[in-house]
Amino acid sequence: MDFAVSEKMRMILGMINEFVDRELIPLEGAFLAGRESEIFAELEERQRMVKQMELWGPCHPVEYGGMGLGLMEHALVSEVLGRTPLGHFVFWCQAPDVGNIELLHHFGTGEQKEKYLRPLVAGKIRSCFSMTEVGLAGSNPVMMDTTAIKEGEDYVINGRKWYTTSADGAAFAIVMAKTDPEADQYHQASMIIVPCDAPGFHLVRNISVMGHGGSGYFSHGEIYYQNCRVSRENLLGREGEGFALAQERLGPGRIHHCMRWLGICRRAFDLMCSRARDRVIAPNGQTLASKQIVQGWIAECAAEIQAARLMVLHAAWRIEKEGAKAARQDISLIKFKVANVLQMVVDRALQIHGGLGMTDDTVLAYFFRHERAARIYDGADEVHKTSVAKQILKGYEGRAVK
């Protein structure tokens, strides 16, 4: 691997870093207090600024209005944007839209691209991804009860989904449903584009997560599909390819997530070091930074962040060079490793902040609440560990080790 960053990318990262510090972090106060509506107009203004700077949609295709950055380049951008909860949204590379854009770009028909992809990349509409189901193992995408039955020229969809992120206000959903229950488990489901105003599409509620009900982009919806009828022309890819398309979406998506988490780690680490240096704990002026246990935490966090970052960049490099299938083990490794580094760094940063860390006067409490899910979504830690262990052990079958 070549770890050198091109002069162009250094310039782009510098511009984004400066923008995050100057334009986004000052808006966090209202956001952290649950007053997103108060700053929505300002966020839209920041989005217009990003477009003027030609930094809109870093990883989206150029022909549709994005920057067209490669996976490793976007990984570096995602790390910078991850320093604030507002970063990815303002630069329009947030989940689930970023994954849906990839699906539409690679598998959509010409008509689907004009109707859904072009306005989605432009930021004129939002989308959601509807796969996880209530009561079923979300880490296993072959397990689902939602069906899409063919009737004439239509699909009729019935089922219940939850954790459909950003459903509130979305223009369309990409829904995973069984189109052939008699096929083998990996070819039963398909992906179908469903407009959110289609009859039978019901947003039941925004699920309250860690005490936050959510709204708009920052929401997780429960959806009831009740005889929801859409044209068979809304099929994304080929029938029975739902599982394969989900895997195509999740591989690069985990790179995006992991680098965003590392951006969170960097923000938490900076806050932790600053607090340790400034927090006086004794009349003689002694600070937290003088304590060996704090010094140990800082050194350990620095090492873990660096190790995790190199793992993610290596996985991204392998995906670009060899494809997501070849990098399957690397992707699983980073998913649980980086999620746990994130938990450790945020927890220690909060601990060093003491009572202040429990308030929303800093971003740490938000990270602590909302990023606990990192060890669950896109495959729980235990699922990835089991998968990796099986792959490793398979390599030792019939092999004598001396």
- Evaluate if residue 229 carries a pLDDT over 70: yes
**Alpha helix segments (H runs only) across 182-238:** none
- Evaluate if residue 19 carries a pLDDT over 70: yes
Tell me the C-alpha to C-alpha distance, in Å, between residue 344 and each of 75, 77, 136, 289, 350: 22, 23, 29, 18, 10
Distance CA 45, CA 167 (A): 23
pLDDT of amino acid 210? 86
Taking the domains of the chain in order of start, what are their residue ranges? 7-94, 127-240, 243-394
Distance CA 341, CA 350 (A): 14
Pick from 131, 3, 51, 84: which is nearest to 271 by CA? 84
Q: Residue 268 is which amino acid?
A: A
- Evaluate if residue 138 carries a pLDDT over 80: no
- Please state which of the ranges 16-20, 97-101, 169-173, 211-215 shows the lowest mean pLDDT: 211-215
pLDDT tens digits, one per residue of 199-227: 999 999 999 988 887 787 788 999 999 99
- Mean pLDDT across the stretch 355-383? 93
Pick from 123, 117, 115: which is nearest to 88 by CA? 123
pLDDT of amino acid 251? 74
DSSP secondary structure letter of residue 288? G
Strand-strand pairing, 127-130 and 172-178? parallel
Long-range contacts at 393-400 (CB < 8 A, ≥ 24 apart):
none
DSSP secondary structure letter of residue 212? B
- Evaluate if residue 400 carries a pLDDT over 90: no
The percentage of the chain sitting over the pLDDT mark of 70, rounded to a whole number, equals 100
- Evaluate if residue 197 carries a pLDDT over 70: yes
Superfamily of domain 243-394: Butyryl-CoA Dehydrogenase, subunit A, domain 3 (1.20.140.10)
Cβ atoms of 221 and 96 within 8 Å: the answer is no
Label residue 338 by pLDDT band (50, 70, 90): very high
Tracing tokens 């490669």 back to the chain, one arrives at 70
Which sign does the torsion angle of CA 165, 27, 69, 53 carry? positive
Neighbours of 54 (CB within 10 A): 9
pLDDT of amino acid 139? 67
- Mean pLDDT across the stretch 104-120? 97
Q: State the virtual CA torsion across 176, 177, 181, 183 in degrees, nearest 10.
A: -30
Q: Does domain 127-240 have CATH number 2.40.110.10?
A: yes
pLDDT tens digits, one per residue of 51-84: 999 999 999 999 999 999 999 999 999 999 999 9
Beta-carbon contacts of 276 under 8 Å, excluding residues fewer than 6 positions away, are 287, 288, 289, 294, 298, 352
- Full-prediction pTM beyond 0.75? yes
- Evaluate if residue 263 carries a pLDDT over 80: yes
- Mean pLDDT across the stretch 271-287? 95
pLDDT of amino acid 309? 97
The percentage of the chain sitting over the pLDDT mark of 90, rounded to a whole number, equals 83
DSSP string, 271-317: HHHHHHHH-B-STT--BGGGSHHHHHHHHHHHHHHHHHHHHHHHHHH
Q: Residue 210 is which amino acid?
A: M
Please, how many CA atoms are within 13 Å of residue 115, restricted to the half-sphere of its CB?
12
pLDDT of amino acid 75? 93
- Evaluate if residue 4 carries a pLDDT over 90: no
Distance CA 206, CA 219 (A): 6
Structure tokens at 89: 């949204």
- Phi and psi dihedrals of 94, rounded to 5? -85, 150
Into which CATH architecture does domain 7-94 fall?
Answer: Orthogonal Bundle (1.10)
Pick from 349, 338, 336: which is nearest to 383 by CA? 336
Cβ atoms of 257 and 76 within 8 Å: the answer is no
Label residue 248 by pLDDT band (50, 70, 90): confident
- Evaluate if residue 348 carries a pLDDT over 90: yes
Distance CA 333, CA 106 (A): 26
- Evaluate if residue 141 carries a pLDDT over 90: no
pLDDT tens digits, one per residue of 21-51: 999 999 999 998 878 888 889 999 999 999 9
- Mean pLDDT across the stretch 168-176? 97
Q: What is the mean pLDDT of the chain?
A: 94
